[in-house]
Amino acid sequence: MSVSARTADSFPSHLLNRDLALIFASNFFGSFGDGLYSYLLPVYMTRTLGTSSTEIGILYAIVNLFGASTLLLGGILADRYDPKKVMAVGWALWVPAPILFALARTWPEMILGMVFWGFWLGGPPTTSYVVRAADKNRLTLSFATLSAGWALGYVFSPAIGGYLASTVGMRVVFLLASTLYASAGIVLLFITSQRPADRVQIHSEQERSIFKLLRERKVLRLSILFALIMFNLMMFRPFISRFLADIYSYSEVEIGVLGSVLFFGAAFLGILLGRIGDRWRTRYALATALVFCSLSLALLLVSGDFYILAIALFLAGCSYTMWSLMNAIIGPLAPEFSRARWTSIPQAIGMFSSTIAPFIGGVLYDVSPRYPFAIAIATMLVLSLLVATKIFDKA
């Protein structure tokens, strides 16, 4: 059975129907809470907890490890139960994370919070839900717009988080973030349910396991591409804010403002790339995002001028659009009866590949803070060429 009511009301009518508008709102609330501290977290761990680059890498590797594992679980649950409930539970599991960060006094005490922060149940059910609920002629733009809702939550929150951290302290910031996570989950309870499509009528031989799905060449090829992209993103992304502090000596407030610029870029460029994907092909939009991201890191390395860094961080917003662009490629290719499980495989493999990426990035950063960024520049340019020259079909 398809969505029980495809929602006649729309918001706005030309793009997002009611359900997708509520997902947009949920993304905004959740990301606003996340942006209050996530961009500053590496700086907080360094300056307050005395955490080294390698230890920061270990903590982010824990997040990615649990993220990869729970993506697979989210795919299985979403194919068997109502996806909206799985999405809401995903937000609920994030609620304890910032509270545990606030209580931590040493970096090992951050581990449990990182575990909760790594529960990413919502990825596969959201992809499956959007594919069924969105206008098929504007699917890439729908994914990009929902991603923009996530990015818009970050536009002001890093600057606000930086200001609050410098005035009332990070503990208040962490508690406020937890409240906003809870709000994001509550909003999702009001979207239309999507029941499993009469699963009892599907023959058992059609219910393919994760391992059988992985043997499909199309799934495997997309999984490798997802893995390479996510590895590169997670190798450098946790160290951007620390680079600004260590190399250019910016304060928490200044770093927060640049973080807001980054996510404004993610929102603006995400919608632009979504239109490129729907008008031409999604793979061209993805290749463009990779090129923009490489350019942004090059600018980051060559100048500490605030305005040049603002341009660099604006373009770096493309690094937050790649997940939605990949989902716009993967989602329509998946069979209806196992879409969430099907899409969870490339997502999970991408996250598994990035599990060690922050650790490697931390080791490279200790050798030279410029190394993680320089390596990512070269690798993403190569990936952009591979994507643009049709490494996968029907994208």
**Residue 364 and residue 374: Cα distance in Å, rounded?**
10
Q: Which amino acid is at 253?
A: V
CA 193 to chain CA centroid, Å, is 24
Identify the bridge partners of residue 10 per DSSP, sorted by sequence position. Answer: 17
Q: What are phi and psi of 10, to 5 degrees?
A: -140, 155
Chain-centroid distance, C-alpha 263 = 12
pLDDT class for 197, splitting at 50, 70, 90? low
Task: Please provide residue 196's backbone torsions phi and psi, each rounded to the nearest 5 degrees.
Answer: -55, 140
17 phi/psi in degrees, rounded to 5: -80, 180
Q: Of 353, 370, 376, 282, nearest to 322 (Cα)? A: 282
d(CA 387, CA 290): 9
Choice among 301-310, 332-341, 380-389 with the minimum mean pLDDT: 332-341
With contact defined as beta carbons under 8 Å apart, do 36 and 158 qualify?
yes
CATH number of 18-195+210-388: 1.20.1250.20
**Tokens, residue 207:** 């219910």
pLDDT at 207: 47
Do 194 and 129 contact (CB within 8 A), yes or no?
Answer: yes
Least confidently predicted of 93-97, 229-233, 243-247, 323-327:
323-327
Mean pLDDT, the chain, integer? 79
Highest mean pLDDT (candidates 89-93, 227-231, 383-387): 89-93
Q: Give the residue-averaged pLDDT of 174-203.
A: 78
Share of the chain above pLDDT 70, in %: 82
Whether 359 has a pLDDT exceeding 90, the answer reads no
Sorting pLDDT into bands at 50, 70 and 90, what band is 341? low
Nearest to 126 by CA among 92, 90, 154, 180: 90
Question: Hey, what amino acid is at 125?
Answer: P
43 phi and psi angles, rounded to 5 deg:
-65, -40
> Which tens digit of pLDDT belongs to each residue from 84-122?
888 889 899 999 999 999 999 999 999 999 999 988 877
Residues 28-84 have pLDDT tens digits of 999 899 989 987 888 889 888 888 878 887 888 888 788 877 877 777 787 777 888
Buried b (16+ CB within 10 A) or exposed e, 285-306: bbbbbbbbbbbbbbbbeeeeee
More confident residue, 67 or 15: 67
Listed by start position, the domains of the chain span: 18-195+210-388
* 197-211, 232-246, 323-337 — most confident range: 232-246
Using the Cα atoms of residue 369, residue 98, residue 183 and residue 123 in order, give the sign of their dihedral: positive
Span 111-170, pLDDT tens digits: 999 999 988 877 777 877 877 777 666 767 777 777 777 778 878 888 788 888 888 888
CA separation for the pair 45, 42 (Å, rounded): 5
Stated pTM of the model: 0.68
Which structure tokens are listed for 289?
């995002």
Query: Of 255-259, 342-346, 363-367, which range is least confident?
Result: 342-346
